[in-house]
Structure 1
């Protein structure tokens, strides 16, 4: 709402009526510019200056709201008066005066705007300030009548003003300057009948207030050229992304219209019959529960046994989004499912495996996630890139934790986890020597970190002695 801060003293509707009266034909004919300015200041607070000027700009752009020249002159003066403490080119609505100085505008308004533009001494040498004091004693109607009788030679020099406004406009983004108001003027304005015309204008102002800030900006619907086709440097093709549920077959139950079809369906649900992919209803229900809560050991054993009869993993409906919750609640089931997915064969299985490994790397570091990775490394051979990325993420997570107690706990767990990987020869220490040594030195006060550092040093020295032995042997030969 435009007059939001002044509504404590007077309602928004009353302010709209006051503004429509001040800019009305009768008021601008009978009152001097000085009295008009004092009346506006009585109703409008400093906090509402911009919103009121915005409303006046809105009225100037609609011919049926300010139909006469002296009404427009009144509006221009009020817009100047609201920001008179600064030069006119600093006025947020300086563009309105630039438009009025155009050759197509009425001569009286062009002369009037040229005087306003030269009031400040830094914008011209004409005695416009003293002329303005004389104009303040006159009514807008008299001023317009006097200016109409003058020629274009009466227009003061506005070159400095126009140059200053152009410099200010240069600093604005091009897209912002291209924005237009969301309120479009009626191309066929209606004639308002006095004496109630100001009431109709007030109602229009009040209805338009919420939309004065709305603009149509090209940035919101700018046309974007599609990117060019990817050209591989080595000539290789991109990896085709197959969806997880890649099997689409029509399923039709021939017994759907038989008399005992409902009994067969109940029996199938009770016995946990499997579908075409080998996934039973019982297994699906167990997995749904595993994503939400911790299962018992017997239920986890049932999942492991049921997975043995699964022919196609697409029937499990196990996707990347389930992995984080399943790892947190049931890491054992997560390992079993991942093993089933990783060792499954079929179209798109390699891509599916990479997606699950990528999701496992991005899971929040915890005891359960490290347990899943550790068990997977003992069961199958995982890509070295995955192992290195997971270790790097864990190290970064430990370094970023602010809580010292929680940090020390995760550091100890990570050190034990890394020692297990090293001893099982899952990871090559030389590949991560720099990063892991820096990690151990940073947390050297923790016993497990010191033990990990000693383990890496022993392996490093052992590999160094082996290399020197081989080198000396080759020298003898």
Structure 2
């Protein structure tokens, strides 16, 4: 279920900030195919993309984030949004922003946001773009580029009613056995604040490779209770 080193190199090459910023969204699908990924690879690619989105020190560019979100939609665009295995990511990202809640880490007597380890909140431009995607994108939207979307300063933004999608996902989850609904990822962000700019590209590449490649890659592992 994990990626090979070559596949990861191809994916990261596709997601390069400088390369992706001015590429039209409609060109992403054929570009991904040229990078060597076919339909049978989509779940592995999307799983890797989600992990990169969860850790802002691994996917640092805004254009990269937008491209990553588009890939999660595009790889399953021929199915209803509720059937997309990554639809819960969309509902999480489009939740209304609220005040940050905190929990206390007693060992160091520090406070951390309860959202640590989750995908960082979206900007208004990103939320509007994602809303339009899962509502059914227009041809005009797909001809735009990540740079165009992020440069939009309009005060009018598209909103998507999540209620129907959330209901479909709850119904779908209720049909799963308890063992399939329990568990958390083995990869969790370091909650301590640090300067992302201090991370070298070499060290970032090494971390990404250790998380996403190999037969026993951490990204495909999870922690779950034992059921007797």
Q: Is the 8 A contact 1:20 1:202 kept in 2?
A: no
Q: CA RMSD in A?
A: 2.5
Distance of 2:189 and 2:62 partners within structure 1: 18
1:95-134 equivalences under 5 Å are 95-104=88-97, 105=121, 106-119=123-136, 129=137, 131=138, 133-134=139-140
1:302-381 equivalences under 5 Å are none
SS at match of 1:30: coil
* 1:142-176 superposed Cα distances (whole Å, 9 cap, x missing partner): 11222x53345x21333322222222222233453
* 1:83-124 superposed Cα distances (whole Å, 9 cap, x missing partner): 1121111111111111110112322222122112212xxxxx
Q: Is the 8 A contact 2:73 2:134 kept in 1?
A: no
* 1:354-404 superposed Cα distances (whole Å, 9 cap, x missing partner): xxxxxxxxxxxxxxxxxxxxxxxxxxxxxxxxxxxxxxxxxxxxxxxxxxx
User: Where does residue 212 of structure 1 map in the other structure?
Assistant: 219
Greater percentage in strand: 2
Which one of 78, 83, 102 corresponds to residue 85 of structure 1?
Answer: 78
Distance of 1:160 and 1:65 partners within structure 2: 33
The alpha carbon displacement at 1:202 in A equals 4.0
Distance of 1:85 and 1:203 partners within structure 2: 35
How many residue pairs match? The answer is 198
Q: Unpaired runs of 5+ in structure 1?
A: 4-11, 120-128, 223-477
Larger radius of gyration: 1
CA spacing shift, 1:189–1:93, aligned 2, 3 Å: farther
User: Where does residue 34 of structure 1 map in the other structure?
Assistant: 26
TM-score, structure 1 normalization? 0.38
The alpha carbon displacement at 1:50 in A equals 0.8
Q: Unpaired runs of 5+ in structure 2?
A: 98-120
CA spacing shift, 1:141–1:55, aligned 2, 3 Å: same
Distance of 2:180 and 2:167 partners within structure 1: 20
Q: Is the 8 A contact 1:28 1:71 kept in 2?
A: yes
Distance of 1:201 and 1:36 partners within structure 2: 24
Q: Is the 8 A contact 1:20 1:201 kept in 2?
A: no
Distance of 2:161 and 2:86 partners within structure 1: 20
TM-score, structure 2 normalization? 0.76
The alpha carbon displacement at 1:140 in A equals 1.1
Which one of 15, 18, 36 corresponds to residue 23 of structure 1?
Answer: 15
2:142 counterpart of 1:136 = yes
1:218-257 equivalences under 5 Å are 218-219=225-226
- Higher relative CO (Cα under 8 Å, sequence separation at least 6) belongs to 2
Distance of 1:190 and 1:179 partners within structure 2: 30
Distance of 2:166 and 2:29 partners within structure 1: 26
Distance of 2:134 and 2:194 partners within structure 1: 30
CA spacing shift, 1:155–1:54, aligned 2, 3 Å: same
1:179-194 equivalences under 5 Å are 179-187=183-191, 188=193, 191-192=196-197
User: Where does residue 55 of structure 1 map in the other structure?
Assistant: 48
Distance of 2:206 and 2:74 partners within structure 1: 25
2:69 counterpart of 1:76 = yes
